[in-house]
Structures are given as C-alpha cells and as structure tokens.
Amino acid sequence: MVTIGTGAPQRTGQSGLTLVELMVALMLFVIVVTAIYQTFHFQQEAYMQTESKVNMVQEARAAQFFLARDIKMAGYDPTTYARAGFNQADVGALDFSMDIAGTGDPNDIEISRFALTSNTDTYEDGICPDDTDCRLSREWCSNAANCGGMQPVAEGVEAIEFCYIIGNLRATTQPTQLERSRITSVIVSLLMRQPYLSRGYNNTNVYTPASANAQLTPIFIGDRPDPWGPFNDPYRRKLVTFEVKARNIGMNPYTDF
C-alpha cells in the first residue's frame, strides 16, 4: 500500500531575486542599451554628414557643368549678323546670347541666364540672405520672347561671384558695355553649404572669391570686396572656384586696350 503524505511541501534550496540583484540587473541593462544607442547615434550622425558632403559636392558639379557648357557658347555667332554676346555681366548674375541655329537674326537667337534664387526672390548681388535656402537657377530662352522661367540647377549655393577677365589680364566684377565684348573668360566662385548642421561645430572659416584673391586676379579693376565669412554657425561649407573660357568672344587673347 502506498501512503500519500499530507505534510507541507519541502524546500528545494532555490529562491527568487532580491531587490538589490534586480536593481543591479536593471542598471546593467540600462548601460548596455545606452551604449547601443550611442553607437547607433554616432553611426547615424557620421552617415548623415557623409551623405550631406557628397550631396554638396554633387550640387557643385552640377552648377559647374551648366555654367561651363553655356558660357563656352556665349557670343556664338557663325554669321556675324546676330550680334550675340553678354547682355548682362554682373557680380551675381549673367545674361548672354548665342546664335546656335545660325539664323543671323538678332531677334531669333538663344539666351541663357544665371542667378541665385530662393523660393521667393532672385538675388543678383550673388549673396543669399541669412536663414534662406538658395540655389543656382538657369533660364533658357529660344528667343527673347520665349523664355521658360528660372529653373534650379544646383541646390545649396550660399553665394556666387562672376569675375570677368577682360582682354588678356584685367579682371573686374562690373564690366562696362564696351568691356563685355572683350570678355575672354569668366572665373566663377561658388560657396556651397551643407544642408545638414554639424552639432558641436562652429564654422569660423573665411572663403575668398576670385575678386578678393590677388593671386587669381593680380590686375583687378575697382575695389576688392571682403571675403565671405566667418559665419560662426554649425554648417560646413566648400568654396569652388573655376575658370571658363568664353571661346566665342575676344578671339585674340593677346589683344588688350
């Protein structure tokens, strides 16, 4: 016969976690989760910075492509009757014509315009106002009466300067009407700004456009402007300077006046 006991259950020697052990485990969990979050945040920040820098460089390349392509064709006039050339040549805006179709008709030639714009305005001085997102925009006209309006070609352009080489050596940002027909090249200075701010970073750099750089423009007509900056903000910037030959204007580079 089997006898079934009716006494209290026996202890097995096992017990639950004490409050101290639970708090230690919770603290270790918080430390591990915090470390994982900080690592993820650091990697995410690095990724955003890299992507922002790549985008800034790509936008600068797009601006350089459109400017170089069009300026090289400024003044193209195979018949010599279209009177193509620079209509506007300011420090922050360009307007020039070209007779690509070869019609020889001054009223039926193509026009290209470049200027700095935002969602609300156009800045022909080439300087984007504070707290404003600006871009380089281009307008293409099949003729003076048929223009498509300003269209963005490069985002994140904070400042732009067009510096014109007259004849062989002389440089200016405000050529006269006579000098516009003697422009042999245009030095473009683009100040690009990353859209993504860098936490803990303060931009104290100074950026020197071509007109303020005596090495690039040793003979400058007029007063040299101040460099751009310092901005003292958390945005990283890049200055891009390049020269485009206006190969259809001032055909003789050794002629000056």
Residues 6+ positions from 194 with CB-CB distance below 8 Å = 52, 53, 55, 56, 156, 235, 236, 237
Q: Cβ–Cβ contacts within 10 Å for residue 216, how many?
A: 18
Q: Which amino acid is at 115?
A: A
Question: Which tokens go with 1?
Answer: 């016969």
Query: What's the confidence (pLDDT) of residue 13?
Result: 56
Region at 48 (left for phi over 0; alpha for psi -120 to 50; beta for the rest): alpha
Q: Using pLDDT thresholds of 50, 70 and 90, give the confidence band for residue 230.
A: very high
Query: What's the confidence (pLDDT) of residue 1?
Result: 47
Query: What's the confidence (pLDDT) of residue 20?
Result: 79
Per the prediction, the chain carries an average pLDDT of 88
Q: Tell me the per-residue pLDDT of 137-171, one tens digit each, with 9 for 90 and over.
A: 999 999 988 998 999 999 999 999 999 999 878 99
Question: Which tokens go with 35?
Answer: 């470390």
Backbone angles phi, psi at 143, to 5 degrees: -160, 175
Q: Tell me the per-residue pLDDT of 24-78, one tens digit each, with 9 for 90 and over.
A: 888 888 888 888 877 776 777 776 777 888 899 999 999 999 999 999 999 999 9
Higher confidence at residue 243 or residue 15? 243
Domain spans, the chain: 47-245
Q: Strand ranges (DSSP E) for the chain? A: 86-89, 93-98, 110-117, 122-123, 135-143, 146-147, 151-155, 157-166, 170-172, 183-193, 237-245
Gap between the Cα atoms of 58 and 71, Å rounded: 20
Q: Using pLDDT thresholds of 50, 70 and 90, give the confidence band for residue 195.
A: confident
CA 43, distance to chain mean position in Å, is: 25
Query: What's the confidence (pLDDT) of residue 228?
Result: 97
- Residue for token digits 């940002």? 173
Listed range (21-30, 80-89, 183-192) with the worst mean pLDDT: 21-30
Share of the chain above pLDDT 90, in %: 67
Share of the chain above pLDDT 70, in %: 88
Gap between the Cα atoms of 222 and 127, Å rounded: 19
Gap between the Cα atoms of 76 and 99, Å rounded: 6
